[in-house]
Amino acid sequence: MQKAKSFLICIFISAGLFGCRDKKLTEVVEVPLPTAEEKVALSHPDEAKADPGTFQMRELPYEYDALSPSIDPRTMELHYSKHYLTYTNNLNRALSDSLSKHSTIEEILKKLDMSNAALRNNAGGYYNHNLFWESIGPNGGGKPNDTLAKAIDRDFGSFENFKATFADAAEKQFGSGWAWLVVNRSKKLQVTNTPNQDNPLMPQAAVPGTPILALDVWEHAYYLNYQYRRGKYIDAFFDVINWKKVGEKYEEAIAKKY
């Protein structure tokens, strides 16, 4: 009551002669998280099914709560069963017959007409999330295996430098988007970021290449738990990176002709 009263007085004063400098008015609002007792039962990843179509959701190789506390179960559930499901359905709707018959998602992205917004957003959204689910996993974190570790040292100077470069790209992506570790056409590692659901496979990518690690920095990927603290979410991402999988993707990318 006292707070409400002082708030009203403050508004009144600010509308009058003096500016209101009460710090409370400019504070970011903290939304309390549900307590343990309030937690609702989670669904299972198998229950999420896209409509029949050319592309189907990649199976999530772990439970929604497997990455907790780095990524909370409810965020994982909504991200996989709602956001990713929607990208998959919308991709199938956006595909024309000529694109859907014999094309992989990578082929569709590489020859994308960037003015086709529905396909750009949803083919991107589908591919990007596929890689994101694989980029993370239970018992993740730590450092990459030998081959990838050497390449990271070669191209970034050290693992710590790579980490700082990647975190910076993720932090500085304005608004919604992604941070990437890619193998470029010269088979060197590079870090980049892209807006919305764009990615380094698309024509006109600033840093073109084969992505091997993806970080989703859309607010839907972290807001429930981290709210406006994107930096904390980026730190937590490093604790769940599946370096074994990223290492496999690195070896595939360097073996392949671009």
Q: What residues line the site for Mn ion (CB under 5 A)?
A: 216, 218, 221
* Nearest-angstrom CA–CA distance, 199 and 177: 9
Least Å distance, CB 217 to Mn ion, is: 9
* Residue closer to Mn ion, measured from CB, 81 or 242: 81
Choice between 76 and 182, CB closer to Mn ion: 76
Minimum Å gap between C-beta 76 and Mn ion is: 11
Q: Are 44 and 76 in contact (CB under 8 A)?
A: no
CB 10 → Mn ion: shortest distance, Å? 39
In the complex, minimum distance from the CB of residue 172 to Mn ion, in angstroms, rounded to a whole number: 18
Identity at 55, one-letter amino acid code: F
155 vs 198 by CB, closer to Mn ion: 198
Tell the burial category of 13 from Cβ atoms under 10 Å away from its Cβ (0-12, 13-18, 19+).
Answer: middle
CB of 218 to Mn ion, least distance (A): 5
Return the residue nearest Mn ion (CB atom): 216
Looking at the Cβ atoms of 127 and 166, the one nearer to Mn ion is: 127
74 or 155: CB nearest Mn ion: 74
In the complex, least distance from residue 75 CB atom to Mn ion, rounded to whole angstroms: 10
Q: Identify which of residues 151 and 234 has a Cβ nearer to Mn ion in the complex.
A: 234
User: What is the Cα 20 distance to its own chain's centre?
Assistant: 39
The rounded Cα 117 to chain-centroid distance in angstroms is 20
